[in-house]
Each structure stands twice: as C-alpha cells, then as structure tokens.
Amino acid sequence: MSRALRVWPQTLVSRLLLILLLGLLLANGLTLGLLMTERTQSAKAMMLGNLEYDVATSVAILDHLPAAERPAWTTRLDRPNYHYLLNQGMTGGEPMDKHQQETARSLTAALGARYPLKINTLPDSEGHLQAHLQLSDGSPLTLDLTPRIMPFARWLPIVLAGQFILLLCCTWFAVRNAVRPLTALTRAAESLHPNTTSAVRMPEDGPLEVRNAARAFNAMQDRIAAYLKERMHILAAISHDLQTPITRIRLRSELMEENEIKTKLLQDLTEMTHLVREGVAYARTHESSSETPCRIQPHAFIDSLVCDYQDTGQAVTLSGQLSGSWFTKPHALRRTLSNLIDNALKFSGSAEVRMAQENDTLILEVLDRGPGIPPDELYAVMQPFYRVESSRNRQTGGTGLGLAIAWQLVASLNGSLTLANREGGGLAVTIILKESSV
C-alpha cells in the first residue's frame, strides 16, 4: 500500500468530512482573499486621493500666509501620518518600495505642476519619506510622511475562528446525516440470518432515496424469511409423511419369512427411518429461533448435561469453570451440545467438553480424538446432507445433518461455531456466545 493510501482516511465519514471541510475552507479562503484585496485597493485609492487633495490644499494655504504665521499653521495642518517642516529636511535615497513609489507619484501629481518636488527616503526607518519643495517666496517646505499601515480589526480573527467552527459543525452534521442510513443498513445486514428473530429492520423514514432503500431492504428480509420458512415446512412435512409408509413397509416386512432379502430390507428401512428423523430434527431447528430466552446457571446446566452422558456409561468429561448466570435459549443450547457430543462419541468413542468465560463471552469447546476433517472441507461439513465419509454408509457417515443442525442452532443464539483439527488427531468444535447477543 502506497504512502498516499495510508494517509487517506479509510472511513466514509472521515473522507466526506475531509473533502467537504477542505472545499469549504478553500472557497471561504479564496473569498476572503479577494475581499481583502479589493478592500486594500479601495482603501489605498481613497487614502492617496485624500492625501493629494489635503497636501495640495495645505501647501496652498502655507504659500499664501506670511512667513511669520506659517509655524502656527503647520501644527493645524499636521495629520497622524504626515506633518510639515519649515526647513530643508533630510537627504536620502530614491524611493524603491512599491508603496513608496505610489505615494511619490501621488504627491508629484498633486504638487509637481506648480512646485518642483524632490522626494527621498530616510534611512532611519522603513517607509519614511520626505518631499522637499520651495514656496513662492523661496522658503523651504518639507513634507515628512510615514505611510500608514492598513488598519486590521481586532475582532476579525475571532470572527474567522467562529466561522471555522461553524463550518466544522455544519460539515459534521451533514456528513453524519448522510452516513447514518449506511450505518443502519450495515447493522441490519449483519443481523440478517435465517434463524434469528431479532433482525434489525431499517426505519422507513428520512429522504426519499433512504426511504426507498429501507423499504426494499425490509421487503428483501421478508421474502428471504418467507422462503426459508416455506422450505423448512416442506422438509418437515415430507419427512413426517414418510414415517407412515415406512412404518407400514416395516410391518409387512416383519410378516415375511426369514431370509437375506428380509434382513437387507429391514436394514434399508432402519436407515430411512433414521434419515427421516434427522430431516425432521433439522427442519425443527427453525422453531428454536423462536424459543423464549431465559436466565440459567451455565456451569450447572452443562454439568448436568455431561452427567447424563456419564450415567449411561459414555466417556464424556468436563473441564473449566463458569460463574454467574447467563441469558440464553436453554433448549437450543442443549440440543447444540448434545449433537456435538454425539458426533464426538460416534467418531472417536469419547468426548471432552471445555468451558471458559471472558467478561461477557462464553467459550465452549467439544473435542475428540477421531479422524478429524480434511482442512478444505471444514466449512462444507456444516452444510445440510454433506458427509466427509465417501462410502455413503449411514452407519459410518451419518446423514450429514449433525453439524448443520448445530450450526443453525448456534446461529439462532447469535453466536458463532468454528471447526478446527487438533494436533495429534481429532476435531475441536468451538462455540462463542456473548451475553448481549440474545
């Protein structure tokens, strides 16, 4: 990744905020610059115009006054940035600064036609000018001038800072309102799952485009839910209805004479019965999503389940410690753990249940020392009717619904189920549940 991409913000909020804020700041900066330039030019033209008129008038007054009265009048004609001296003044260099040259041209335009001027800069300070001339009676007169800096209002920085804060607030508000529907859509999409009843529905309000998108998303959720519900009902109905003809065939087979055909037929009926029951169980996993959650003691709950297996002579062990209570769906959790323990017992003859707690998270593991699952099939085995065992023998490969049922049940608890092969052989199934997820 290039350095430019690392510097560029990664979230839509920060990108929009940065783009809009920079655009507004550049636009306002350009506007302010143009206004300040125009104000400076206007003020400069006004100042130079006033300077020409005022100096021409003052020099004319002094020229018509008797020499004895001129000192008294110079104090009356003085201004904050220039005053009159009744002497030769000081010598200096030629005006070099642009502003000084503009001032010199204005003085020449005002007095040069009648009074020959000599204008020079003084070395004592930057911008200090003196214009030397002679009155009609030959008396020297010097105009001592220090160009005044353009006035800068003290309140202007405060106004600019307030404007920047206002722009920042308005930009943040606009970006927040623009991105909020995307955030809501993301949250609703993340909660979308066929086995959860707590899916977040998009609020159908706001601008027209947002209302249309929310309405379309909610309709999509409803169509998906209806389709999955219909599929589950069809599977449940077929599996249930098959039990009656299977039972009739079994009864009729029992009336047959004992031979090899009867034995094979009864074996096939047993496999069909097992498959139908698994199909009904898988279809009923949807009912677990509508189970009402309640608070349980997780350690006692899991310990009771493991003890039930141990009472029947099964090699199931429990390790770990849980404390406090937990808000969950107990029937779905029991069925999940039972399916996983049954799979472990089926493929390895023993099962180990581990449990741990981290703040608001429960971590449950079911481990075995069976043959494991090829790494490229760890996800596929959680799909319905998928079996790793290729012989299609129900006694060794099962129906392919055990892990699929467990995965669906964990999803109804808004948790996650992952599979991993253990070192030394065997499979580890990990369930992660959060307190706030149900």
- Statement: residue 316 has pLDDT above 90: yes
Rounded distance between C-alpha atoms, residue 253 and residue 265, angstroms: 8
C-beta neighbour count of 169 within 10 angstroms: 10
Report the range of poorest mean pLDDT among 112-121, 383-392, 407-416, 420-429: 383-392
C-alpha distance from residue 7 to each of 17, 150, 271, 293, 311 (Å): 15, 41, 62, 46, 63
- Mean pLDDT, the chain, integer: 78
SS3 106: helix
Predicted confidence at residue 317, as pLDDT, reads: 93
158 sits in which H/E element? helix 156-191
CATH code at 12-145: 3.30.450.300
Rounded distance between C-alpha atoms, residue 267 and residue 99, angstroms: 110
Rounded distance between C-alpha atoms, residue 313 and residue 309, angstroms: 7
Q: Which residue has the higher pLDDT, 116 or 428?
A: 428
- Statement: residue 207 has pLDDT above 60: yes
Report the range of poorest mean pLDDT among 89-93, 209-213, 360-364, 389-393: 389-393
- Statement: residue 253 has pLDDT above 50: yes
| Right CATH for 291-437 from 3.40.1180.10, 3.40.50.720, 3.30.565.10, 1.10.443.10 | 3.30.565.10
> 293, 328 in Cβ contact below 8 A?
yes
Question: What are 404-417's pLDDT values in tens digits?
Answer: 778 878 887 878 89
- Strands ordered across the beta sheet of 118-121: 82-85, 140-145, 129-134, 118-121
- Statement: residue 194 has pLDDT above 60: no
- Statement: residue 5 has pLDDT above 70: no
The neighbouring-strand residues paired with 119 are 131
C-alpha distance from residue 189 to each of 194, 222, 413 (Å): 12, 13, 17
Return the domain boundaries, the chain: 12-145, 291-437
The verdict on pTM exceeding 0.85 is no
Kindly indicate the confidence band of residue 438, based on its pLDDT and cuts at 50, 70 and 90: very low
